Amino acid sequence: MFLKTTSYLKACVLHRTGTFGQSRGRKGLHDAVLRIHPCVQEALGDGKPVVALESTIVTHGMPYPHNIRMAREVEEIVRRNGSVPATVGVLHGRVHVGLDDTELQFLAEAKDAVKVSRRDLPYVLSQRLSGGTTVSGTIIAAHKAGINIFVTGGIGGVHRGAETSMDVSADLTELGRSPVAVVSAGVKSILDIGRTLEYLETQGVCVASFGGSREFPAFFSPNSGFQAPFMVKDDKEAALLIASALELGLGSGILIAVPIPAEAAASGQEVEEAVQRALREAREQEIRGKEVTPFVLQRVNELTGGKSLEANLALVRNNAEVGSLIAGSLSKLRS
């Protein structure tokens, strides 16, 4: 399928100068496997704030058409807050940083989209497949493009029972080795939150809760029963944290954990019960590996009659607001 470029592309004027030119030497080589949208490239060259967004949440995290609506809305929130959105995804064997609307629609509707994490990239590229990038896949692409901030709903973590299954999300190791700050609503209670925090420490990931409470949020709920090691009160403090890591050339990532807004957390308890049931079903049906997270998300949505999806949408929107404000403050600090 040939993908037309749309208004998003036309809306920006191309300047091929600027600091981003430093990667031009490798451009030919990169171009075949990594395509940075001209709008994103221009913004980076001009030092404007850019926010990366993942696409597994589109291909595997939410049903159609909620997924495409959410993706568009989140991009709009980022723009409204003065940043340039760069949704990452894989189209026909090429990693894209920044998708136009036609490309986003294609991924949202694609029945055979692959969930693409680090280990999947060689195969998906060589077979010219398409897919949504997970947090780990998106961090890789964002870093290669020179983007420091990435907004999502929730990241993967250490699964319950990981001491025997060894199911630990590649998101955690990726955060450990890339200087990208991920803004998320913490990790779901389907995961072992205590062990997830331990593992993030091992990987050298600086974790900070956002907004005034040290409590590490648990996606649908602002409370997990665990404290984050640090807290930043607003976007300016978060930007300082990120700038410090970048200045030192630390090379590892940062996790900014933003609690779900209070209004949306109201249904948290009901959702939590559905989560427990979905987990039990996953065990009974012997769902394993990369299928676990999408299975649980879909079951929880069915069991709560869509309430979990509503809560999910609310927290993603909120994260997009927070993330783009942080990106704005960071670009001011570094200019």
Q: Which of 89, 98, 156, 259 binds ligand PSU (CB under 6 A)?
A: 156
Residue 134 interacting partner from ligand PSU, Mn ion, none (CB closer than 5 to 8 Å by kind): ligand PSU
H or E element: which one contains 244?
A: helix 235-248
Distance of closest approach, residue 233 Cβ to ligand PSU, in angstroms: 25
Distance of closest approach, residue 169 Cβ to Mn ion, in angstroms: 5
Structure tokens given for 204: 């050298």
Choice among 75, 103, 115, 188 that is catalytic: 188
CA distances (Å), origin 48, targets 19, 217, 254: 11, 30, 20
Nearest partner of 170 among 206, 136, 133, 204, judged by Cα = 136
Interface residues for ligand PSU in 201-240 (CB under 6 A)? none
Cα separation, 297 vs 295, in Å, equals: 6
Task: Give the SS3 label for residue 37.
Answer: coil
Could you say whether residue 154 binds ligand PSU (CB under 6 A)? yes
CA distances (Å), origin 85, targets 112, 194, 237: 25, 32, 22
Distance of closest approach, residue 288 Cβ to Mn ion, in angstroms: 9
Cα separation, 281 vs 291, in Å, equals: 13
Task: Give the SS3 label for residue 188.
Answer: coil
Could you say whether residue 171 binds ligand PSU (CB under 6 A)? yes
Could you say whether residue 188 binds ligand PSU (CB under 6 A)? yes
Q: Which of 43, 53, 54, 309 binds ligand PSU (CB under 6 A)?
A: 54
Choice among 54, 103, 174, 215 that is catalytic: 54
x/- track of binding to Mn ion for residues 142-171 (CB under 5 A) = -------------------------x----
Q: Which range binds ligand PSU by CB under 6 A, 96-104, 123-131, 154-162, 324-332?
A: 154-162
If the CB atoms of residues 20 and 295 are measured against ligand PSU, the closer one turns out to be 295
Residue 135 interacting partner from ligand PSU, Mn ion, none (CB closer than 5 to 8 Å by kind): ligand PSU
- Decide if 327 contacts 149 (C-beta within 8 A): yes
Could you say whether residue 56 binds ligand PSU (CB under 6 A)? yes
Could you say whether residue 135 binds ligand PSU (CB under 6 A)? yes
Nearest partner of 281 among 261, 249, 262, 303, judged by Cα = 303
Distance of closest approach, residue 167 Cβ to Mn ion, in angstroms: 4
Q: Which range binds ligand PSU by CB under 6 A, 143-151, 165-173, 265-273, 300-308?
A: 165-173
- Catalytic annotation on 233? no
Q: What is the DSSP letter of 15?
A: -
- Decide if 255 contacts 200 (C-beta within 8 A): yes
List the alpha helices (DSSP H) in 56-157: 56, 66-80, 101-109, 121-126, 135-145
Burial (CB < 10 A; 0-12, 13-18, 19+), residue 333, is middle
- Catalytic annotation on 54? yes
Could you say whether residue 331 binds ligand PSU (CB under 6 A)? no
Annotated catalytic residues are: 54, 188
Which residue ranges make up the site for ligand PSU (CB under 6 A)?
A: 54, 56-57, 61, 134-135, 153-156, 169-171, 188, 290, 293, 297
Which residue ranges make up the site for Mn ion (CB under 5 A)?
A: 167
